[in-house]
Structures are given as structure tokens and as C-alpha cells.
């Protein structure tokens, strides 16, 4: 018989929580699976011809390996999200500000000494120039001609690298169409995201009740920080990540299950207070559990995954995620499972796809790291039975 899911008690005031009254996220996975089916059906009804043309363009012109139909639908929603949430901000940001922010983002990743200074300046630029019009209605209806500036803005923030690359593919496709037709699909993408936001609030809103409270309280009192845009996202963006996780897992499941070796990447925030005395083994970029604390969640997951033939690696922070992926980029015999905060699911999934890695993802049941969400971090948690099902190829009951 399968082991019951481990319920981890976390304090109130969480930004999102995939567990409801019973303390388990099993119900969430059933809800998001059904809702994802509705979303994909709605996108097919409203934009099937766009998905057809986009698929052909990717294969014939951009020479990209095929992805699932559902993943292309999620990309269209991502385009709609970018237009609605960030289009006005991109429109009003001076070009030199976007260029400077991009240079600073490049610098912080290539110079450990300059990172604090780069982050400080980026935080000020973000506060003064990039953020003021986020979420506001754009002055004009979305048009294909505005996509280059939007994509440039997304790159400049440092928060949407993977999304910007996917939207650049849509820009390439729309550029092949007559202006009227391209404008129609741009407006359709924005309208679909509006529809998605309303439907998702009804279906998935109970899991993100804490977002508005967080934005009005803890977030509003923070002032100028490097993670302002990342932490300032609205419930609809969390909901898109929920659906994206489900749809992308479906698209890659068969390929993942064919891989003989499995690696599981878990965030260091799972340790919580245990992190203070953690004696994890570190070798190069590898960070693995030393089993120093029998009460640590990472220790428990490591033992459980080892019994299933999977290796667990700790990822200290999402900014180091790419380094862990490089080794598996050319290793088709490995399947990778990434456990991450909801807001890291979509870009992480896009990056693993772009690297040709057979992957799956499991969102944390709730966030709690001190860097983004709570001044005093808490141990986060996940649905461990869901993780077991993915590793073993079992289907949920």
C-alpha cells in the first residue's frame, strides 16, 4: 500500500497554500487537473488557428523540436499575461533604462564582487521606472509592433528571461502574418488571459487567498528591493503557474518515464530551522544531504527517493538552478524532477524544456524562504506522495 502523504504544519499567513482543511494538497492536484482541461478547451475554441500556425512556424522556420499542444496553449496565455500585466510598464519605460537594467542583470551574474552594487542600483531603477505602471491598462490596444519593446522590458527586469524567449518566438510567428491578422491574435491572447483570470479565481482562488494580504501588508512595507517584481505578482500569475505545471508535466511525462535514471532537485528552504546546523555534502555545484538530522524534511525525502533509485540534490536558491541543469542537458538517460515555489515553476519548466531535459515539476505546498516571503524563514513542504508517483510512474488514484 502507498504511504500516506506527510502533513507538515506551517504557520498562518502564507502567501499561497495548496492544502485546504484536511492539511493535504491531494485535493489541489485533482482540482487543477480538471481546471487545466477546461483551460485547454477554451484556448482551442478561441485560438486553434493561431496554435496551428505557430506550431508550423516553430517546426519549419525556427527548427525547434516539437512540444505538446497544451504547452503552446500555455505560451499563448503567457503572452496574454505579459500584455495585460506588463504592457503598460514596457510602453512607459525609457529605452535607456531598459538597457541599463539589462547590463546590471548581466553584471550581477558575472561578478560576485559587483553583485551587491548591481542589485542596489537595479532595485532603485525597478522602483522608479519599471514598476509604476505594472498592471495598469495600456494607453492603446495591444499591437504586434509593441512586442519588441515588451520583450526587451521583460528581459531587463531579470525576472522573465525564459518567458521572453518564448514570446520572441510568438513575435517571429506574428511577424509573418498580415497586420490585421496578427493584431487579432494579439488581442485574442490578451482576452484569453482576462477570461483565464476570472475562471481561475473561481477554481483556484482558495489556494491563493494570502496573496492580496501579503501584497497589502508585508510586501507594501518593504520599500526598495531587488525582488520587487518577483514578489509583487498577482493571484492570476500564481494560477497560471499552477496550470502550467500540470500541462507541462503532461507534455513531458512519457519522455520522462522512459529515462532510466532520476534526479530530484529540492530547494534548501525545505530544511527550515534545520538549515542552521545542516552539514550537507558540497562537491562543486552538488549539494547532497548528509543525514545529520533525522527530523529534517530533506533527510526524509532523500531516504525515500534513494529507496526508489532516485538521487536528491539541494538547490540553495533558484538563481543557481541553471548550473544544476547543465550536466543533464546532453544526458537523455536522466529525468529531472524540480521541486520549486509556484512562481519559479513556469520559468524553470521553460528552461528545462529549452535544454532538452526530460523533466517534471512539483510545486511547494506553500512558500516560506526568508529571502522572499518571510523575515524569519519557515520550513516549506510538498506533497511527497505526489513526488513518489512521478518517480515511479504511478498514476494518482
The candidate with the shortest Cα–Cα distance to 315, out of 292, 340, 336, is 340
Within-domain flag for 34:
yes
pLDDT at 23: 84
In this structure, what C-alpha cell is assigned to residue 146?
A: 509593441
Burial class of 198 by CB neighbour count within 10 A (0 to 12, 13 to 18, 19+):
exposed
Of 186, 209, 239, the domain-final residue? 239
CA distance 243 to 254: 19
For residues 154 and 265, state if they share a domain.
Answer: no
pLDDT at 374: 83
In this structure, what C-alpha cell is assigned to residue 273?
A: 530551522
For residues 353 and 385, state if they share a domain.
Answer: yes
For residues 217 and 272, state if they share a domain.
Answer: no
Number of domains in the chain: 2
For residues 184 and 310, state if they share a domain.
Answer: no
Within-domain flag for 58:
yes
> SS3 for 67?
coil
Burial profile 73-106: b = 16 or more Cβ within 10 angstroms, e = fewer: bbbbbbbbbbbbbbbbbbbbbeeebbebbbebbe
pTM of the full predicted structure? 0.92
Share of the chain above pLDDT 70, in %: 95
For residues 223 and 274, state if they share a domain.
Answer: no
For residues 265 and 386, state if they share a domain.
Answer: yes
For residues 269 and 215, state if they share a domain.
Answer: no
For residues 167 and 35, state if they share a domain.
Answer: yes
Of 193, 212, 239, the domain-final residue? 239
How would residue 139 be classed by pLDDT, with cut points 50, 70 and 90?
low
For residues 210 and 342, state if they share a domain.
Answer: no
**For all residues of the chain together, what is the average pLDDT?**
90
pLDDT at 337: 95
pLDDT at 21: 67
Within-domain flag for 61:
yes
For residues 136 and 224, state if they share a domain.
Answer: yes
For residues 203 and 265, state if they share a domain.
Answer: no
Within-domain flag for 10:
no
Within-domain flag for 269:
yes
Within-domain flag for 4:
no
pLDDT, tens digit (0-9, with 9 covering 90-100), for 125-138:
888 888 888 988 77
Within-domain flag for 148:
yes
How would residue 1 be classed by pLDDT, with cut points 50, 70 and 90?
very low
Structural domain that includes position 66: 27-239
Work out the widest C-alpha separation in the chain, in whole angstroms: 63
pLDDT, tens digit (0-9, with 9 covering 90-100), for 188-211:
999 999 999 999 999 999 999 999
pLDDT at 355: 92
Within-domain flag for 227:
yes
Q: Is the pLDDT of residue 10 over 70?
A: no
How would residue 163 be classed by pLDDT, with cut points 50, 70 and 90?
very high
Q: Which of 172-176, 209-213, 225-229, 318-322 has the lowest mean pLDDT?
A: 318-322
Strands across the sheet containing 261-267: 310-315, 261-267, 334-340, 358-363
The candidate with the shortest Cα–Cα distance to 78, out of 243, 230, 325, is 243
pLDDT at 319: 59
pLDDT at 390: 96
For residues 101 and 225, state if they share a domain.
Answer: yes
Task: Assign residue 294 the CATH number of its domain.
Answer: 3.40.50
Regarding predicted confidence, which is higher, 73 or 293? 73
Task: Please give the backbone phi and psi of residue 349, each rounded to the nearest 5 degrees, phi first.
Answer: -65, -40
Of 195, 211, 239, the domain-final residue? 239
CA distance 26 to 55: 34
pLDDT at 7: 43
Amino acid at each position: 500500500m502507498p504511504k500516506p502523504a506527510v502533513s507538515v504544519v506551517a504557520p498562518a499567513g502564507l502567501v499561497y497554500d495548496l492544502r485546504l482543511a484536511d492539511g493535504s494538497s491531494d485535493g489541489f492536484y485533482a482540482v487543477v487537473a480538471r481546471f487545466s482541461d477546461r483551460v485547454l478547451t477554451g484556448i482551442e475554441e478561441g485560438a486553434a488557428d493561431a496554435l496551428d500556425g505557430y506550431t508550423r512556424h516553430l517546426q519549419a522556420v525556427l527548427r525547434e523540436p516539437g512540444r505538446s499542444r497544451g504547452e503552446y496553449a500555455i505560451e499563448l496565455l503567457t503572452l496574454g499575461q505579459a500584455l495585460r500585466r506588463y504592457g503598460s510598464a514596457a510602453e512607459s519605460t525609457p529605452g535607456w533604462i531598459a538597457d541599463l537594467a539589462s547590463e546590471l542583470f548581466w553584471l550581477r551574474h558575472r561578478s560576485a564582487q559587483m553583485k551587491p552594487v548591481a542589485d542596489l542600483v537595479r532595485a532603485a531603477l525597478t522602483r522608479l521606472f519599471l514598476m509604476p505602471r505594472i498592471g495598469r491598462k495600456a494607453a492603446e490596444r495591444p499591437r504586434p509592433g509593441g512586442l519588441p519593446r515588451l520583450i526587451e522590458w521583460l528581459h531587463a527586469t531579470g525576472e522573465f528571461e525564459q518567458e521572453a524567449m518564448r514570446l520572441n518566438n510568438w513575435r517571429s510567428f506574428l511577424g509573418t502574418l498580415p497586420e490585421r491578422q496578427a493584431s487579432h491574435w494579439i488581442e485574442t491572447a490578451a482576452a484569453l488571459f482576462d477570461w483565464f483570470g476570472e475562471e481561475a479565481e473561481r477554481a483556484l482562488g482558495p489556494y491563493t487567498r494570502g496573496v492580496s494580504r501579503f501584497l497589502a501588508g508585508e510586501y507594501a512595507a518593504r520599500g526598495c528591493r531587488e525582488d520587487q517584481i518577483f514578489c509583487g505578482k498577482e493571484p492570476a500569475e500564481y494560477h497560471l503557474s499552477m496550470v502550467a505545471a500540470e500541462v507541462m508535466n503532461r507534455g513531458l511525462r512519457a519522455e520522462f518515464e522512459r529515462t532510466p535514471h532520476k534526479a530530484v532537485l529540492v530547494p534548501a528552504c525545505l530544511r527550515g530551522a534545520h538549515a542552521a546546523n545542516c552539514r550537507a555534502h558540497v562537491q562543486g555545484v552538488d549539494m547532497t544531504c548528509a543525514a545529520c538530522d533525522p527530523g529534517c524534511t530533506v533527510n526524509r525525502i532523500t531516504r525515500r527517493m534513494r529507496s526508489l533509485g532516485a538521487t536528491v540534490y539541494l538547490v540553495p536558491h533558484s538563481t543557481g538552478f541553471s548550473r544544476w541543469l547543465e550536466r543533464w542537458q546532453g544526458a537523455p538517460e536522466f529525468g529531472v524532477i524540480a521541486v520549486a515555489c509556484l512562481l519559479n515553476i513556469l520559468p524553470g519548466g521553460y528552461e528545462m524544456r529549452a535544454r532538452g531535459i526530460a523533466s517534471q515539476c512539483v510545486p511547494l505546498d506553500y512558500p516560506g524562504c526568508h529571502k522572499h516571503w518571510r523575515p524569519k524563514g519557515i520550513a516549506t513542504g510538498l506533497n511527497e506522495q505526489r513526488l513518489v508517483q512521478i518517480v515511479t510512474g504511478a498514476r494518482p488514484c
